[in-house]
Amino acid sequence: MAGGGPVQARLDMAVRIIAGSMVAEVCSLYLRRASGDLELFATEGLSPEAVHVTRLKPGEGLVGEIVRLGRPLNLSDAPSHPAFAYRPETGEDPYHAFLGVPLLRGGRTIGVLVVQNRTERVYGEEEVEDLQIIAMVLAEMVAGGELIAQGALKDVEIAPHRPERLKGVRFADGLALGVAVLHETPVAPEQLLSEDSAAEERRLKTAIADLQLQIDHMMDGQHGLVGASFEVLETYRMFAHDRGWNRSLEEAVRSGLTAEAAVERVRSEHRARLGQARDPYLRERLHDLEDLNDRLLRHLSGDGAAPAHVLPENAILIARNLGPADILEYDRGRLAGILLEEGSAASHAGIVARALDIPCVGRLQGLRDRINQGDPVIVDAETGEAYLRPRADVVSAFSSRMAVRAQRRAEFAKLRDTPAFTRDGAKISLLMNAGLAVDLDILQETGAEGIGLFRTEFQFMVAEELPRFNAQTQLYQRVLDVAGDMPVIFRTLDLGGDKILPYLEAEREDNPALGWRAIRMGLDRPALLRLQLRALIAAARGRELRVMFPLVASVEEFRTARALVDHEIAWARKRGRPTPSLLHVGAMIEAPALVWHLDALLPMTDFVSVGTNDLMQYMFAADRGNPRVADRYDPLSPPALRALQAIQLACADSGTPVSVCGEMAGRPLEAFALIALGFDRLSMPPSGVGPVKQMVLSCDREAARRGVAGLLKGASGSVRNEVETLARKLSVAI
């Protein structure tokens, strides 16, 4: 097969050899076109006229079924299978027994290899194994250009090599140019077939034993593994000791593969199978399994302890989705951008990317199928696009845009010490959202006047275990130290919903966003909340302390929560411990119910902050984390803006300070609308402060107010375009 000659002749020879060695009357090779169609590329036994003529749509016929399932199909009577699609041109009528296996490469099914026999029979386990190994070798040859020169077969999607542009959604603004680093790395084994399978089996067994030992050690707490949580380790341990997994690997090695190739084969199968799973839980498990495979490969290469996340300069991280801890495991100095296949702007990957100011585009369909490790990549988070293997002219145009952007940044930096007044003299306070110690470094740099939302749960989410009293106190102290005279609003733990702690037992809920989360958890299990309040009080000793509660849905909840704070202050006093010089207790307005009960709530609070991310999710009944619905409704629409206006008016009437701390406060156009509604305190991701300040400085608040009020009357849907036109008419820098 490695010999020269025309491509078709070599393919024909390949299927002939396979048919002969499998004692099959038919052997056919189908390869996948870019369209997804499976085309018959070579056959021994079927009609030669069908070659390059017979095509099956994705999911069509038994061959399509194999692609869908990502695993072999072994049938004694193929025509009686419901998925069977009859193609007269092939002349396959007389054949009953059918065995088809996918050609897997890096989790992708690039084709299907089929053998058929006349007599009705089920192929034996060994035959299935053999054909899978042949398919694996064939897949490597096809992909590696050994059998077919790369590109010689036009449109066959093997290893992507052409420039491509994918459209997604902006999660964190910015531009980046760099090289692809796959979060879930496929490692192509160098050698597929082993010379001595007994020695290979020993090597595999040693590596598995080392891996098991390493994981057991990690679980005993002897080695800290950054960011890995207990539950993940538990899953690793389960998989590492899983007999089925071990057996599949051993069988693959016994049938002649190298240990590395065996890992790859078993991994490919799992990927293809689990990758289809709709259940997010199952897909998460796939993620665990990927990591475990990588670890095993490192053990096989004798490099078991190597850190998982060494990055090249200007790395663009490619992943299906990322948790907050995942991003933090990478070297931030080298991480230039992030591309995700899934996620939503309000998901944690989005929030953390914005906090760290790393450009991030998400919801790029088919991303991981189209990219290879080390490919040059452009992250255009201004337009929400990704360019894979961009052409030179695209790179050069993009580089100029990066330069312009750097220049604009320099302009924002110059505005750093300019106070944010509108043209007609209204002072607007611009604050920063934070949640991790790393955010604090940029507080001074942004020119924000303080921290309007400190998401305390982030410390809990990125930790190995529940942060204890001292760890909490230390972080809060640090935040207050860095902020100095600037105000900091600490939001108490907002857990549950999409914010799950891996080390805390959580019951699965049907509707986590509507479930036992945030203040509800805090009030039902007050021990955790009280410990946190105690840590906040201890950290603030002699300084002002601002605390607010998330997702308050009833006045009663706020009353109870506030009483807990008073109780903790009294507790500290009784023990002669230092207490804050001044205490402000506030509520987040995130539950629509509260909007209609502000008359009772506001007199009890010292301040409130509108969490528009959640408020919009509940107002529009659209899960902020679900890509299908997250961006379906526009906060720049009459219902949303009227609710915000009602809050602003009620707060103005009662003299309660109010801020907006959802993501919309950090986008110039949305911030323009908020200012028009009368808000004068906005808290946002650090990267928003410069652009929003520029907007404020160019804005006439009274004109904005009149304009936006006019737009809302009678509007039937989103008024985004109208607000934008208004802003441009008023020469506001959006």
Q: Which residues bind ligand PEP (CB under 6 A)?
A: 453, 455, 494, 590, 611-614, 661-662
Catalytic status, residue 348:
yes
Q: How far apart are CA 82 and CA 716, in angstroms?
A: 49
Q: Minimum distance from CB of 651 to ligand PEP (Å)?
A: 17
CB of 614 to ligand PEP, least distance (A): 3
> C-alpha distances in angstroms, 96 versus 22, 78, 118, 187, 670?
16, 5, 5, 38, 65
Structure tokens at 464: 């190995």
Instruction: Give whichever of 168 and 611 is closer to ligand PEP, judged by the CB atom.
Output: 611
Residue 267 or 624: which CB sits closer to Mg ion? Answer: 624
Question: Which 8-state DSSP code applies to residue 58?
Answer: T
Residue 568 touches which of Mg ion, ligand PEP, none (CB < 5 to 8 A by kind)? none
Minimum distance, C-beta of residue 662 to ligand PEP, in the bound complex (Å): 3
* Helices and strands of the chain, counted as H and E runs: 26, 22
Report in angstroms how near the CB of residue 604 gets to ligand PEP at its nearest: 21
Query: Taking the complex as a whole, how short is the minimal distance between the CB of residue 323 and Mg ion, in angstroms?
Result: 18
Residue 662 binds which of Mg ion, ligand PEP, none (CB < 5-8 A, kind-dependent)? ligand PEP
612-651 residues in contact with Mg ion (CB under 5 A) are 614
Q: Indicate which of ligand PEP, Mg ion, none lies near residue 132 (CB less than 5 to 8 Å, by partner kind).
A: none
Q: Which does 661 bind (CB under 5 to 8 A by kind): ligand PEP, Mg ion, none?
A: ligand PEP
Query: Strand, coil or helix: what is 22?
Result: helix
Closest C-alpha to 270, from 286, 246, 259, 256 = 286
The minimum distance between CB 497 and ligand PEP, in angstroms, equals 8
Q: Which residue is nearest to ligand PEP (CB)?
A: 611
* C-alpha span between 36 and 33 (Å, rounded): 5
Residue 180 binding target from ligand PEP, Mg ion, none, CB below 5 to 8 Å by type:
none
- Contacts (Cβ under 8 Å, ≥6 apart) of 134: 18, 113
Q: Which is nearer to ligand PEP, 405 or 584 (CB)?
A: 584
User: Smallest distance, Å, CB 357 to ligand PEP?
Assistant: 17
How many other C-beta atoms lie within 10 A of the C-beta of residue 64? 20
Q: What is the dihedral of CA 612, 617, 621, 623, to 10 degrees?
A: 180
Indicate which single residue of 611, 625, 686, 688 sits in contact with Mg ion (rule: CB under 5 A): 611
Integer angstrom CA distances of residue 168 from 91, 336, 382, 697: 45, 18, 11, 32
Set 27, 360, 651, 661: catalytic member: 661
Which residue out of 183, 348, 360, 699 is catalytically annotated? 348
Range 375-434, binding Mg ion (CB under 5 A) = none
Q: Collapsing DSSP states into helix, strand and coil, what is residue 249?
A: helix
User: Cβ(614)–Cβ(499) under 8 Å?
Assistant: no
Residue 102 or 688: the one with the smaller Cβ distance to ligand PEP is 688
Selection from 361, 346, 353 nearest residue 330 by Cα: 353
Q: Which residues are bridge partners to 639 per DSSP?
A: none
457 touching Mg ion, by CB under 5 A: no
Which does residue 130 bind out of ligand PEP, Mg ion, none, counting CB within 5 to 8 angstroms by kind?
none
Of 264 and 590, the one with the shorter C-beta distance to Mg ion is: 590
Nearer to Mg ion, 326 or 590 (CB): 590
Tokens at 353, concatenated: 């990317």
Number of residues located near Mg ion, criterion CB under 5 A:
3
- Alpha-carbon distance 526 to 532, whole Å? 10
Instruction: Based on the residue annotation, tell me whether 661 is a catalytic residue of this protein.
Output: yes
Burial 468-496, CB ≥16 within 10 A → b, else e? eeeebbbbbbebbebbeeebbbbbbbbbb
Q: What is the DSSP string of 204-225?
A: HHHHHHHHHHHHHHHHTTSS--
Nearer to ligand PEP, 208 or 489 (CB): 489
Q: Which does 645 bind (CB under 5 to 8 A by kind): Mg ion, ligand PEP, none?
A: none
Q: Which residues contact Mg ion by CB under 5 A? A: 590, 611, 614
Active site residues: 348, 661
